[in-house]
Chains A and B, each alone.
Chain A
Amino acid sequence: MPKQPPEFKKGFVEKYTTLLGSETKMFLDVSTTRLPGIIRVNTLRTRVGEVEARLKARGWTVKNMPFYAPALRIEKRDMALGNTLEHFLGYYYVQESASMLPPLFLEPQKGEKILDTSAAPGSKTTQMSQMMENTGVIYANEPNLGRISALRANAQRMGCKNIVITRMDATRMKKTEFFDRVLVDAPCSAVGAIRKNWDIIQQWNPHMGTKLSNLQKRILEGGVNACKPGGTIVYSTCTLEPEENEAVVDWALQNLPVEIETFKIRSFKTREGITSWENQTFDTTLKHAHRIYPQDNDSEGFFVARLIKQ
């Protein structure tokens, strides 16, 4: 990462001023700071207290995160989080806090059949595996062959025996109506991940959102096709662009057999989804979607909506 972040483009600043008003400066300032070190303890392998004690014994400062017991914030450390014996043994996974939300919204249960349409590198997939206590089965799909090796390595290191890795174009998923729950963590413009990669500031352009939203709609449709009636679908992205978030879910509400469902997460500040953007008015239930801004929880930015298939 370069020492100084590039300047935000004028169109970007204008867009986020429309969304955030007087908070825009805070949003832009926080977006160029480094993310805190967050890990998720792998409860398939060990206990949270055990990892906490071991890391503290190294002289690290470790804090619990109230929104999710396995999440630990490492505030003071003397080395990369990936260079420890505990990481080697799969006792934890380095995962940003907001990225832990989509599986929490999906609530996968023991013994269920789950589909993750866009799984690599596997942070949310392996989190679901541990939430399910290594039971049931998770179809972890990744269309990009180059990204499958990371997914496979992470699923292996975390000791997940309930993961089946598939290589499919998620936009072409047939109407199997098989899975109990489906996670659609769609590829996106990653505006919420600027803190991880400042290159995103330069890569952003005002047309990205609209282009990506077509792909996102098709992946979401594939996910809905694969989900059984009454099943749960979570749509999430690590961007804050309305075209890739509310507009996609609004399209789904109009064109697919889904309804949005209210869902609350404790100890993690989220904001309501927006119900209009530029010349568009969205379904009023979009307010039940969740926007996660980086300045609210010292995290990445995210968008999450929980849907029920009729």
Chain B
Amino acid sequence: MKEKQEITFFSKRQKKQLSTDLHERFGITISFESDVILQTGKHKLWICTPEYEQTKELPYRVETIGLYFGQYDKRSALRLSIEGAMMFGKDATKNVIELDKKQLEYWIRGVNLDYSGTNEGYVILTHQGDIVGCGKAFHGGILNHVPKERRIKNLI
């Protein structure tokens, strides 16, 4: 975490709300009871193991805690990171879109996809059993959120 960056550790109530959001959007049933969930900066969400609690008082300068799994956007909708989609998405029952080979290549290249379906909002993207990320579907397309440093131009 950057210095002076505000960190909020989620309370039981906030964790429950997160579970509700995941269930409502993707049909995922998950409890974060034992995990440490925190929010930093622009609504970025992180998950860490319960053992972190025992280390909080160590006199170390902390940069990041755990795994970045998503963030709430300006409309408070939950967008999952690639890892968030992989971690929770295997149990998703709705708002999941299967990509074909060509779409997958575009997706990993960082390109927005054409989309003619009816889903709107955040969707989990899959390809032949692999969960490959989460994008925002709108009428006519899916917005790409693959980070620049992660993109592959010539996927084989």
Contacts and interface: CB of A to CB of B under 8 A. Distances in A.
Interface of A: 45, 58, 78-79, 82-85, 88-90, 111, 113, 134-137, 139, 141, 148, 152-153, 155-157, 159-168, 174, 176, 178
Instruction: Across the A-B interface, give the 3 residue pairs with the lowest CB-CB distance, nearest first.
Output: A161-B67, A137-B51, A165-B63
Contact of A166 (B51, B60, B81, B130): B60
B interface secondary structure, majority: mixed
B108 interface: yes
A136 B81 CA distance: 23
A88 B146 CA distance: 11
Interface of B: 35, 47-49, 51-52, 54-55, 58-68, 81-83, 86-87, 104, 108, 127, 130, 132, 149-150, 152, 154-156
Contacts of A167: 61, 63
Nearest to B151: A88
Nearest to A162: B49
Nearest to A163: B66
Contacts of B108: 85, 88
B63 A83 contact: no
Contacts of A166: 60-63
A163 B104 CA distance: 30
Contacts of B104: 85
Nearest to A84: B156
Given A85-B127, A139-B58, A156-B68, 13 more contacts: A88-B152, A89-B132, A113-B55, A135-B51, A137-B51, A155-B67, A159-B86, A164-B52, A165-B64, A167-B61, A174-B59, A178-B55, A178-B58
A304 to B, nearest CB: 25
Given A152-B64, A165-B64, A89 B130 contact: yes
Contacts of A88: 108, 132, 150, 152, 155
B83 to A, nearest CB: 5
A113 B59 contact: no
23 contacts: A78-B156, A85-B155, A88-B150, A88-B152, A89-B86, A89-B132, A113-B51, A113-B55, A135-B51, A136-B49, A139-B60, A148-B63, A157-B83, A159-B83, A161-B47, A162-B48, A162-B49, A166-B60, A167-B61, A174-B59, A176-B58, A176-B59, A178-B58
A137 B63 contact: no
B140 to A, nearest CB: 26
A45 B86 contact: yes
Contacts of B132: 85, 88-89
B23 to A, nearest CB: 20
Contacts of B59: 174, 176
Contact of B49 (A89, A135, A148): A135
A79 B156 contact: yes
Contacts of A153: 149-150
A97 B35 CA distance: 33
Point out which of B54, B130, B150 has the most chain A C-beta atoms below 10 A from its C-beta: B130
A180 to B, nearest CB: 10
A178 B57 CA distance: 11
Contacts of B152: 82-83, 88
A136 B149 CA distance: 29
Contacts of A159: 67, 83, 86-87
A164 B155 contact: no
A222 B86 CA distance: 37
B55 A139 contact: yes
A159 B60 CA distance: 23
A272 B132 CA distance: 46
A86 to B, nearest CB: 9
Contact of A168 (B51, B55, B60): B60
Contact of A156 (B35, B83, B130): B83
Nearest to A50: B129
Contacts of A160: 67
A105 to B, nearest CB: 22
A153 B108 CA distance: 16
Contacts of A134: 49
